[in-house]
Every structure is written in structure tokens, then in C-alpha cells.
A and B are shown apart, each in its own frame.
Chain A
Amino acid sequence: MELFPNGWWPYLAGGLLVGTGVGGIFLVTGLRAGASSVLTTTWSWLSRCDYFQRPVFRDARTWRLVFSLGLVAGAAAYAVLFGRDEDFLTEVAPWRLLVGGALVGFGTRLSRGCTSGHGICGISAGSRPSMLAVAVFMGVAVLTAQAVRAMGITP
């Protein structure tokens, strides 16, 4: 069995760039840039619900949205420079994106972290709850993806 049937360097180079983004933001601003918080902080503009109006969310809503715009712009730059449309368009069924997306939104915000928040920032900071969260969501995701495929659902 081959570990990296599609090559390894784009993965490693991409990961180093991701770390450069997170690390650079920390060195210049002191902020720890996980990606999932924007899903909550953005609601502080739209909902008067007490939870979304917490200072911890209101105070971060602008930079988190700007960070998300950066993510979009950076990926767009790559696509324009090096990509072809067919490299990027997903064929994963819309219902999977919708249901999966909803679970991702609910779960990451309940857990207060995602692949970047717990996975990159949390582990890098040596946070034990983050390490535990990563082990749990990776394990559950592997089992879920296997189950989905076993049910014959592709893509």
C-alpha cells in the first residue's frame, strides 16, 4: 500500500504555508487564528441572542471575517495562477455538503475548535483538551467516511 499515491510535496508545502499564515498572524498580532469561530462571530451582527452577543465573539468578529476573506483570496490566487476549474469543482453530492456542513458547524462550535483551531493552534500550544478533541474527531470521521462508502454512496 502506498501512503502518498498522488505525491507528497504539495501536502507538505501547503501545510508549511498554512503554518506560516497562523504563525505569522500570531507573531504580528498575538491572535490565534482558528477557522471555525467565524461561524459564530458572524452571527453577532445578525442575531440579538445573548450567546452571540458575548464580548468574546463581538470583539473578534471583524478580524475573523477579514481572516476568512484572506482564506478565500489566497485560495483564489492559487486557482488563478496554477489551477484548472476541473481541479477544484467537487462532485460530492449536495445533500452530503448540506448535512455534513451543518454537523461541522454545530460540532466545531460546541467543541470550540476545528481542524485548525484544535488541530493546528491547540496542538501547537500543547493543549491536552485539543489533542483529545483531535483524536476524537479524526477517529469518528474515519469511521463515518468508511461507513458512507460502505453504503455505496459515491461521490
Chain B
Amino acid sequence: MAASETTTARPGVSVGPTSEFSLFFHVKPGHGDDLREALRTLQNHPGYRPGEYGMAVATIHEARFVLFDDDTRLLFATSFDGPWDSYMEDFFTSGPTLALFDAVFQHVEGYEGLPDVAAVKAFVLSAQATAAAYARNYGGTVKEIRKAERVNKAFQRVLDDPAAGEGLQHPALKPLLDEASD
């Protein structure tokens, strides 16, 4: 565990509604292969399979697990809509996250034998390190981005209709017409 980093919770860095969240763990000696296998299994789970976009937690933008230092260390990094410290108890009492984390965390030091959610929370926070630099290229929450994708898909369907040019001539639709040319 990154003990020197801390035992106190820090909020991480936020950009707009989204905050970064990075955890650094020490892999239990001899568990490198098992952890790789657990992550391979995870990668083949619905939501994590290549080309899918439906993780169990719908408020994170992406998640990555990185084994490094010859599989002796594990990084978990994600971006989350909202202040993640407010949601820690929720994560560790709600089904999908609990099962997912359990399969991975059992291979890192300090996880076993934790008596209650407060201890799990303390364990996770002790592995957290706040980013020294963090930037984003879009401002929306996952919910807004998904909505934006749906709207754009609908808009492209409208543009595929030969009558679109004529239909978009109404003054109220000018902002859409401006986006219709390319």
C-alpha cells in the first residue's frame, strides 16, 4: 500500500463536474499471475469487452487497471462524475462494484480481513494519490455525453434525409443548420 501517501481522504482534482481518482496498490507476493488472470476475466465481462460501453457504474467515464513494476504494483485510475469521497460507502455497499473490486482486491496487500465498510473505505483511501496534473477535453457528465451522442445520432439521421436542407430553413432551426454543413 502506498503508506507514505496517506491515510486521510483527499478529494482528488476536479474539472467541471468530473473528478479524477487514482489508486496505487502493492500486489501480494506471488499473486501477479492470478491478478493478471482476474483482470483478463474482467476485460471479458459485459461492459468491459472491447467495443462495449456499459460499465456497471454508469457515472465513470473510463476505468483502467495497470500492472507495473513486474506485476508487483497495481494502478486503478478512473474519472468520476461528482466528488468520489461522497460516494465511497455507496460503492462498497452496492452489488456490481463490490463484486468487481473484490475479485481484484483479493490479490493486493491490506484488503483481507477488513471488518466493515469503514475499514474498506480507509483501505481504499490509503491507496489514493491525487493527480499532480489533470485536464479534460470535454465538460459533460457521462449522462450528458450519452444524451449528446443520442442527439447527434438523431441529427445525422435527419441530415441523411434528402428533405433535411429544406426542413432546416426555419429560423428557429438556424443553430442546427449551422452544424449541418459538414
The answer on A and B forming one complex is no
